[in-house]
Amino acid sequence: MSDEGRNDDASDYSKYAPKRPLRRPEDVERTLRALIDAGAPAGLRDPAPLSSAERPTERQYVPSGATAPVPSREHQDRRTPSDFASNPVRPPQRLETGTSTLIGRSEPVRPPPPPDRLENGTSKLIGRIALVVAFTAVGASALIFAKPISQYVHALFDTDSRPVQTSKSDAVTRNSVPSNDRVYPAPQVAAGSVPALVPTPVAPPAAASVGRPAEAVGQSFASWPMQQQAAVGPEPRAVKNFVRGVTDSEIRFGISAAFSGPAKELGQNMKLGIEAAFKLANADGGVHGRQLRLIAADDGYEPSRTAVTMNQLYEKDQVFGIVGNVGTPTATVGLPFALERKMLFFGAFTGAGLLRNDPPDRYVFNYRASYAEETAATVHYLVKVKRLRTDQIAVFAQQDSYGDSGFSGVAKAIRSLGGKDSAILRLNYERNTVDVDDAVEQLKKSRIPIKAVIMVPTYRAAAKFIEKTRDSYPDMIYASVSFVGSTALANELMLLGKKFAKGVIVTQVVPALEGHSSLVLNYKSALTKYLPGESPDYVSLEGYVAANVLIEALKRNGPELDTEKLVETLENLRDLDIGLGTPVSFSRSEHQGVHKVWGTQLDENGRYQPFDLQ
């Protein structure tokens, strides 16, 4: 383009076109590289002047094209810069890019976001798949290991505690109730009594375990509770082997007996004998570290109250077993209760046949001889030694199952000697009374002279009967079974006078108290030491002996105690020598430890003297 073609004053305003020669981009880049190579900051240097060869000539100017004409006056709607005070034009900014400084526009120039890479999308997909797989694996592990985890948690926190599940009804059958065996309830632990268990981190499974079958994984995980147990220390014994009435520190037994009423001395003395044996064992450290405890319930020698006391001992007191219950009529209620619950019924103070079935009931064990054996010994003595006819023997008996049991023993013994049991005169009285008038009248009306009376009573009724008949029958032989309560009977008779006491025979199931055997001496020593003020008595001696047999069985059983195991231990107890003069033995077909009967007779001073019944 020539200079003549250029008109700065033309109306197309081409005069405003830039007159500075334009530089090509490659020239600018070359200049910037030179500055960088020189070491100076690019922003502090101006581009080097171009050489004459590089400088463009006037002809290199390129006139701008036609531009929009500028109006001579501003349009009425045109907005001025003052109208934009709230949003002023931002000054040009410098953008630092690498080592060069570029002059920007009024708005900052932001670098465009990098394009998404293909591999980023693939990574997100893989991550989502891995998350789904992880959740699936956790769910599967929870299903696989739910049972071992639950068992472990129960093993740690379960103790004295699930509360013990006890029977809620008396109408439970023998086959529907489990025995007093090991159970695993949740123990009730007082707050702060046990230190908190701190979980131990468990290392993840080794890589080699990946791909193993599920059974192998389960077996591997099954060892986790044992690892945790080793970390927190050994578990208490009560948690591992919880049994009703058994804790780490004690074994609870119950006794239902008469502690009030006319027969209260029988219950009180039986309890004293058992407690003397328990205290002696406890002073020596107990049985495998456990103290023995006896809980008593008063049934007043009434069967109607026995159901309540047995339920109390079982439900409320949570006893392991029953020991030393007193009486036959009460046993008719207490025994089925214990059998239905498969609870030990040991050493009852009765010789009734209902506790001596053939074959024996699994949970019933008797120390003493039966009433049949006691009355048989007495009948044999009267017939063979005293030379009486069988029809000259009468029976004074309580009008209930106790009296029936004793009468049956007499009848059986008489039949064995060739006599007729139908000819036996039975003289009855009502339980828990001393109303013996009818019995006395029957005796007086007998056509056959009666020379001996075998008594199956309690001590007060026996004393009253002797009192009302002694004068009429001065040569009468009075013989009673051991349940009468020998010491109480002697005391009652001595209050009446020496003539009432002298010659009265009482069969015993323990050696004579006046003897000096090791057993009797140990009994008296324990009574003096642990129960001072209490006098020796045949009933308490029986309780002491029965308790010692039980203690020996508990020792042989070992520390892991439950009813079934103790029954097995008792059934394998042979020839135990505790100083009776006869061994104590049990077996699967024999649940009565001793069959020996001792004879004693009161002298004029009210003391029992031993004598031979043969």
Task: Fill in the DSSP letter of residue 422.
Answer: G
Does residue 81 register a pLDDT over 60? no
- What are 418's two structure tokens? 């060739």
pLDDT in tens, 375-431: 999 999 999 999 999 999 999 999 999 999 999 999 999 999 999 988 899 999 999
Average pLDDT over residues 574-594: 96
Task: Fill in the DSSP letter of residue 225.
Answer: H
Does residue 347 register a pLDDT over 70? yes
Give me the residues paired with residue 428 across strands.
397
Backbone angles phi, psi at 257, to 5 degrees: -155, 175
Interatomic CA distance for residues 277 and 292, integer angstroms: 9
Task: Fill in the DSSP letter of residue 450.
Answer: P
Interatomic CA distance for residues 22 and 184, integer angstroms: 98
Whether pTM > 0.75 for this model: the answer is no
Task: Fill in the DSSP letter of residue 54.
Answer: T
Residue 44's SS3 state is helix
Does domain 370-508 match CATH 3.40.50.300?
no
State residue 274's pLDDT score.
98
In the chain, domain spans: 1-63, 147-189+213-242, 246-368+515-596, 370-508
* Burial annotation 31-45 (CB, 10 A radius, 16+ → b, else e): bbeebeeeeeebeee
Average pLDDT over residues 485-513: 95
- What are 105's two structure tokens? 């526009």
pLDDT in tens, 559-582: 999 999 999 999 999 999 999 999
% of residues, the chain, pLDDT over 90: 59
State residue 141's pLDDT score.
73
Q: How confident is the prediction for the chain on average, in pLDDT?
A: 79
Are both 246-368+515-596 and 370-508 of the same fold? yes
State residue 171's pLDDT score.
40
Closest Cα to residue 189, out of 236, 142, 131?
236
Interatomic CA distance for residues 610 and 601, integer angstroms: 6
pLDDT in tens, 8-57: 444 555 555 555 555 566 666 676 676 666 655 545 445 555 555 555 54
Task: Fill in the DSSP letter of residue 341.
Answer: T
The CATH number for 246-368+515-596, chosen from 3.40.800.10, 3.10.20.30, 3.40.50.2300, 3.20.20.100, is 3.40.50.2300
pLDDT in tens, 329-346: 999 999 999 999 999 999
**366 in Cβ contact with 336 (< 8 Å):** no
pLDDT in tens, 355-364: 999 999 999 9
pLDDT in tens, 442-475: 999 999 999 999 999 999 999 999 999 999 999 9
* Burial annotation 173-186 (CB, 10 A radius, 16+ → b, else e): eeeeeebbebebbb
Between 513 and 238, the more confident residue is 513
State residue 41's pLDDT score.
54
Q: Confidence band (pLDDT; 50, 70, 90) for 115?
A: low
Q: Confidence band (pLDDT; 50, 70, 90) for 146?
A: low
State residue 155's pLDDT score.
55
